[in-house]
Amino acid sequence: MCLTCPEITSMPRSNCSGSSAFFATLVVTVLFMTVNISEVIADDVVEQRVDELLAKMSIEEKIGQMNQKNADAVDLVGDDLRSGRLGSVLNVVDVEVVNEMQRIAVEESRLGIPLLIGRDVIHGFKTVMPIPLGQAATWNPDVVRDGARVAALEASSSGVNWTFAPMIDISRDARWGRIAESLGEDPYLASEMGVAMIEGFQGDDLSAAGTIGACAKHFAGYGAAEAGRDYSTTNIPENELRNVYLRPFEAAVNAGVMTLMASFSDLDGVPASGNRFLMTDILRGEWQFDGFVVSDWDSVRQLQIHGLTDSEQGSAFEAVNAGVDMEMQGGSYLLHLESLVAAGKVDTSTIDAAVANILRAKFRLGLFENPYTNPSDYPETGNAAALSVARKAALQSVVMLKNEGRVLPLSVDKLESIAVIGPLANSPYEQLGTWVFDGDPALSVTSREAIEKLVGDDLAIRYVEAMDTSRSRDTAPFDDAVAAANESDVAILFLGEEAILSGEAHSRADINLPGAQAELVRRIRASGKPVVAVIQAGRPLTLSNIVDEVDAILYAWHPGTMGGPAIADLVFGVASPSGKLPATFPSVVGQIPIYYNHKNTGKPPNAENIVHIDDIDERAPQTSLGMSAFHLDAGFQPLFPFGYGLSYGEFGYDNISVSKSEVTPGDTLTIGADLVNSGPHAAEEVVQLYVRDLVGSTTRPVRELKGFKRIRVEPGQTVRVEFDLHTDELSYYGRDNTRVLEPGDFQVWIGGSSETELRSEFRLVDD
């Protein structure tokens, strides 16, 4: 792809007019390769250095490497650094402070071991990309990779060398606040996007300037918290754990992710921070991971609060023996590991293995050779190239959910005035979204600003905030908003959630538009003017109470620094919407959990075998005959399905084909279909491939995503789109929780969402 051009292209970078400036700005670190980082630096050299250093270390110095402390001032950690009692610091972003901490660690401690400097660089540093869920809506790994590369460069300039991202928890519950930080409900999509983010952070050489170590989190099952309550219990059968929740983590390990973070939650009764099955049996034994595992904030000590242990010492014992190498904040390792070793309860080899994992990461990062940061070696944060990446990410993340009567795109030539209404039209901070400790609102360009710049003097713009916040219930200002709509040709409502309503510890039981926003929509609708809703939110919202009250909906998530220009371009047709939903949108909250790749059940629902409560006679008899899995008051379908998203193009699919009607293990099948754009606008479409295994030794999902491609199609053009599907992609974890590839019949679909109907079949047969 070309990083500066608005369309996807195979154009060589040397032929792109914008590429020279971009690469001069981002230096040579903007090189993206799918590699295993452990293969870049010679393993034997690293292992020799690890062994040599480990042999020199005292037990106190070893345990010190396993200790991470939150500190933003040198005097808070100076003594710990000099004595070798600290291996990592988090949440310091003043480069002078970082360099002084590194100096003390390298020059004043006995062994001179440099520090890991950790920070939550989740979806940008100073320049903020869309929230991760919004990035997943791009269905474009290149865009995700570029965004992480910008973040890595900006964070590196402040001395940060380790980020706690990507979050690759599969999330099927929109009530959960951290769905904003996730990459959606599907393990294939989350794997592809998560790997791209890791590659952006880590580059093709961890020791290169401008790269930072990634941390895949939260291992594992955190996204399945009961009722979407953050930190709550997760109960996931092992078969479901392996087939769904672990898949992105295995992909991250295979991509060379430097670290993993343990989940806060328990998993079937054993909290992740003390779960040896996860940390040792699977991660080390099955996947051969040689990076290190860090706990989440104070989660080791919290094992006692869970009720797994009766003391802080017991918590340290459980965590270290489970395989948690470093403790984030809390200090229980520092206080108790030495006595546990002395008492013979923790083997020295366990400590040595953990420390070796940590040292290995530091050697791979090149910290022993280059512990200090010179900000002048890096491009200025928020530079034009970084903003270009943020704008493209925002542009491709927006999903058009409705466009009744083709009200969009708006035409400057056909309008005289527009009303811009709502609490999120001109809010530079709120558009950044959750988890942006370092995001700079001064860099934000809001939708109001961008629309005013785009239309210039060609249109009159009437702006009314209408609500102080998205949660306001004061309807008094609505009169001014209605007046603006009455006097304008079109009303654009900027609705949704403030950033604080999603993210960690910000779960919601009611996921309708908060405050009096639905009433605002109804009042504006009564004006009789076309109504366009632009919704910024950190999760899928239940929109049933407003979907029929608006003509068009652009779902913009929290779009980041350049959200405004991206939204303006889409509203006025400079570009076509091309995002697709990475998570299912429920009609009502009571449908949750709702996701596309569910099991069929013995009584699957369809339009013929459900009834609605409004259709039942007052004295209807009780019966279960002919009934199925649905809700009387909501049916069985979501409001909008996974993979859904409209366009200004008119896309159709036809002529699906498979290259073979029968395949054997080891074969590759080519599946293709025609994609035609019969509309007047050039546009990009995300073409999706789904497969169903009809019969298995354990029940299989009704559909599973197996591939996707972003394709640009000109008006009237037909493009043949093909996917190669290897039989390995048909394997899964069976009854004994080992991977199996079973013969049988398969269905395959190609289309623009998980509900596409264009289908073919093939059969997998034994050799």
List, for residues 170-187, the tens digit of each pLDDT value: 999 999 999 999 999 999
Domains of the chain: 31-377 (3.20.20.300), 398-571 (3.40.50.1700), 595-637 (no CATH), 651-764 (2.60.40.10)
**Gap between the Cα atoms of 163 and 120, Å rounded:** 5
List, for residues 44-79, the tens digit of each pLDDT value: 999 999 999 999 999 999 999 999 999 999 999 999
Q: What is the mean pLDDT of residues 510-539?
A: 98
C-alpha torsion angle, residues 246, 248, 254, 260 (rounded to 10): -80
Are 204 and 33 a contacting pair, CB within 8 Å? yes
On the 0-12 / 13-18 / 19+ scale of CB atoms within 10 A, 596 is buried
Q: What count of Cα atoms within 13 Å lies in the side-chain half-sphere of residue 81?
A: 25
List, for residues 592-645, the tens digit of each pLDDT value: 999 999 999 999 999 888 888 877 776 767 777 778 898 988 989 999 999 999
List, for residues 452-466, the tens digit of each pLDDT value: 999 999 999 999 999
pLDDT on residue 623: 75
pLDDT on residue 190: 98
User: Rounded to two decimals, what is the model's pTM?
Assistant: 0.94
Alpha helices in 343-421 (DSSP H): 348-364, 384-397
First-last CA distance in the chain: 40
Q: What is the mean pLDDT of residues 514-518?
A: 98
Mean pLDDT of the chain: 93
| Cis ω for the linkage preceding 237 (within 30 of 0) | no
Measured in residues, the chain has a length of 767
pLDDT on residue 315: 98
Residue in the block written with tokens 């964070």: 155
List, for residues 729-755, the tens digit of each pLDDT value: 999 999 999 999 999 999 999 999 999
Nearest residue to 397 via CA among 128, 138, 684, 640: 138
**Gap between the Cα atoms of 116 and 103, Å rounded:** 13
How confident is residue 6, by pLDDT bands cut at 50, 70 and 90?
Answer: very low
Catalytic residue numbers read 296
